[in-house]
C-alpha cells in the first residue's frame, strides 16, 4: 500500500500478464517455496514471518513497496506483532510516503532471521558484510495512521543503495531441506495465489517464454526510484465514460499494488482526462472527485495484442478511488532526463481488482500474468 517511498523505483520494463486459465504458465524448474497466507482485515492477504528474538509478525503481502515494515515503540499490537525487540540497524532514518498522502519517517532495525513456512530465507549473506538477516522498516505514527504499517514488500529493485529491497536480502535454499547449506538462490519470481491463499517464491521464472504476456514499462527514467510492477493502459473507463487516451497529453500506466484495498489515481490524470473529454457525452462524471466515482475499468495489451481487462464497481461490488499527487511516485522528477509531458499518469489497483485471482511476477524477466478468480475482482482475459 506504499505508493511513494523515498528512493523507490517503478519498473515499466517488460512485465506481462499470464495466459488464460486454460493455458497454465510453464517455466524451467527451479527452487520454490510455498508460503501459506491468511486474509487480512483490509481485504488483502497476509503472511506470518518469524524474525527471531521472539518477534513474529503478520504482514500484508504488498507488490507496491520494497521493504518489510513492522511498527514498534507503542505502535504495534499483540495480534500483528512488534519490532521492539529487534536491534537498531545502521544508518539514518528516511522519509517515506504511505497510502494516500501519509508522509512520515521510517526508522530501521535489523532482524536476524526471516522464517516463513519453516524455512529461514535470510541465510546466504557474506559473513563479513553485512551480517546475516534482513533490514526492517519501522514506520512512525503518521505512516501507521495512513496504512497500519505492516507490509511485506515485494518490489525487487530500488535505486537506494543504502536500503536494499527485502527480496534482494532473501535467498532460497539449494535443496528441499530447511537445513540446506548457506549460499542459496536468488528469488527471481513470485506468485500470489489468492484462491489457494499461497505465496510462492521461485529461483526461476514462473511464466514460460512461450506464453503471451504483458510487458512492463520502466518508470525510473521519469523520476521513479523503485521498480514498480506496471504496464501501459490501452483503454480506461470512469463511471462508464471511456476516456480518449489518444487525445490526452501523457500516457497512462496501471500499477499492481496488492497492498491497496482499491484504487489510487494520479491527480494529473484527472485534469488531463477532463480536458481531453471536454464535450463528450458523460464527461461531467470527471468533474466529480474520485471518491464519488462508482466504477473504474481499464484494459492493457499483451505482446500478441490480447486484451487484459480489470474493473471494480461496475458489477455493484466494492469500489473506492482516491487521488494522489505525482510527487510520491516520481520523487526524482526534477532530475529526470525524460520530458515531463511524457511522464505517465498512473492508476494503482489493489485487492478489489486483482485480489481474487492469481498474480505472477517474473521479476528479472519483466513479465507478469494474471488469472481472474471467483472471490472478488473483475479481471478478464480475451483475444
70-107 pLDDT, tens digit per residue, is 999 877 777 788 999 999 998 899 888 776 666 789 99
- For 114-141, the pLDDT digits (tens) are 999 999 998 654 444 456 789 999 999 8
Q: How many residues would you count in the chain?
A: 383
Whether the predicted pLDDT of 179 surpasses 70: no
CB 91 within 8 A of CB 108: yes
Residues 6 or more apart whose CB falls under 8 angstroms from that of 376 comprise 43, 317, 318, 351, 352, 355, 356
Residues 6 or more apart whose CB falls under 8 angstroms from that of 178 comprise 118, 119, 120
**Cα–Cα nearest to 156, from 9, 327, 7, 369:** 9
Query: For the whole model, what pTM was predicted?
Result: 0.86
- For 368-379, the pLDDT digits (tens) are 888 887 544 444
Whether the predicted pLDDT of 22 surpasses 70: no
Question: For residues 43 and 23, what is the distance between their CA atoms, to the nearest angstrom?
Answer: 28
**Which residues in the chain are classed under CATH 2.40.70.10?**
37-186
Pair type for strands 198-202 and 241-242: unpaired
**Cα–Cα nearest to 254, from 291, 227, 229, 221:** 229
Say which residue the cell 535443496 belongs to.
Answer: 175
Question: What are the Cα distances from residue 184, in Å, to 28, 31, 189, 383?
Answer: 18, 10, 15, 40
Residues 6 or more apart whose CB falls under 8 angstroms from that of 225 comprise 5, 6, 7, 8, 9, 10, 158, 159, 160, 331, 332
Q: What pLDDT sits at residue 73?
A: 83
* Fold of the CATH domain 37-186: Cathepsin D, subunit A; domain 1 (2.40.70)
Give the other-Cβ count within 10 Å of 130's Cβ.
15
Question: For residues 156 and 106, what is the distance between their CA atoms, to the nearest angstrom?
Answer: 19
Q: Which CATH number fits domain 214-382: 1.25.40, 3.10.20, 1.10.3470, 2.40.70?
A: 2.40.70
CB 373 within 8 A of CB 357: yes
Residues 6 or more apart whose CB falls under 8 angstroms from that of 20 comprise 371, 381
Q: Which three cell numbers stand for residue 20?
A: 488464460
CB 89 within 8 A of CB 112: no
Whether the predicted pLDDT of 382 surpasses 50: no
- For 199-212, the pLDDT digits (tens) are 999 999 999 999 99
**Cα–Cα nearest to 235, from 227, 246, 219:** 246
DSSP category for residue 89: P
Amino acid at each position: 500500500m506504499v505508493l511513494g517511498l523515498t528512493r523507490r523505483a517503478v519498473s515499466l520494463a517488460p512485465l506481462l500478464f499470464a495466459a488464460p486459465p486454460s493455458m497454465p504458465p510453464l517455466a524451467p524448474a527451479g527452487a520454490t517455496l510455498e508460503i501459506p497466507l491468511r486474509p487480512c482485515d483490509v481485504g488483502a492477504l497476509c503472511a506470518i514471518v518469524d524474525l527471531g528474538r521472539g518477534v513474529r509478525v503478520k504482514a500484508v503481502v504488498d507488490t507496491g513497496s520494497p521493504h518489510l515494515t513492522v511498527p514498534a515503540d507503542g505502535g504495534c499490537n499483540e495480534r500483528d506483532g512488534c519490532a521492539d525487540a529487534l536491534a537498531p540497524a545502521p544508518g539514518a532514518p528516511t522519509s517515506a510516503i504511505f497510502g494516500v498522502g501519509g508522509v512520515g519517517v521510517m526508522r530501521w532495525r535489523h532482524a536476524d532471521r526471516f522464517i516463513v513456512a519453516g524455512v529461514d530465507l535470510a541465510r546466504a549473506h557474506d559473513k563479513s558484510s553485512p551480517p546475516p538477516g534482513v533490514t526492517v522498516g519501522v514506520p512512525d505514527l503518521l505512516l501507521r495512521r495512513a496504512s497500519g504499517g505492516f507490509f511485506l514488500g515485494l518490489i525487487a529493485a530500488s535505486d537506494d543503495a543504502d536500503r536494499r529491497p527485502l527480496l534482494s536480502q532473501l535467498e532460497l535454499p539449494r535443496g528441499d531441506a530447511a537445513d540446506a547449506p548457506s549460499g542459496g538462490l536468488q528469488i527471481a519470481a513470485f506468485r500470489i495465489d489468492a484462491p489457494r491463499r499461497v505465496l510462492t517464491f521461485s529461483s526461476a521464472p514462473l511464466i514460460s517464454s512461450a506464453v503471451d504476456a504483458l510487458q512492463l514499462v520502466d518508470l525510473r527514467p521519469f523520476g521513479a526510484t523503485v521498480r514498480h510492477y506496471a504496464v501501459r493502459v490501452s483503454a480506461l473507463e470512469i463511471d462508464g465514460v471511456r476516456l480518449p487516451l489518444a487525445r490526452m497529453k501523457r500516457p497512462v500506466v496501471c500499477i499492481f499494488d496488492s497492498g491497496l484495498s482499491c484504487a489510487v489515481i494520479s491527480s494529473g490524470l484527472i485534469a488531463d482526462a477532463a480536458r481531453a473529454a471536454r464535450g463528450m457525452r458523460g464527461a461531467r462524471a470527471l468533474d466529480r472527485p474520485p471518491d464519488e466515482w462508482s466504477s473504474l475499468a481499464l484494459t492493457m495489451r499483451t505482446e500478441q495484442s490480447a486484451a487484459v481487462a480489470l474493473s471494480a464497481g461496475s458489477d455493484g461490488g466494492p469500489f473506492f478511488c482516491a487521488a494522489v499527487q505525482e510527487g510520491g511516485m516520481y520523487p526524482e522528477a526534477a532530475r529526470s532526463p525524460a520530458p515531463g509531458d511524457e511522464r505517465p499518469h498512473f492508476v494503482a489497483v489493489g485487492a478489489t481488482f486483482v485480489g481474487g485471482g492469481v498474480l505472477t511476477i517474473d521479476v528479472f524477466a519483466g513479465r507478469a500474468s494474471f488469472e481472474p478468480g471467483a472471490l472478488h475482482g473483475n479481471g478478464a482475459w480475451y483475444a
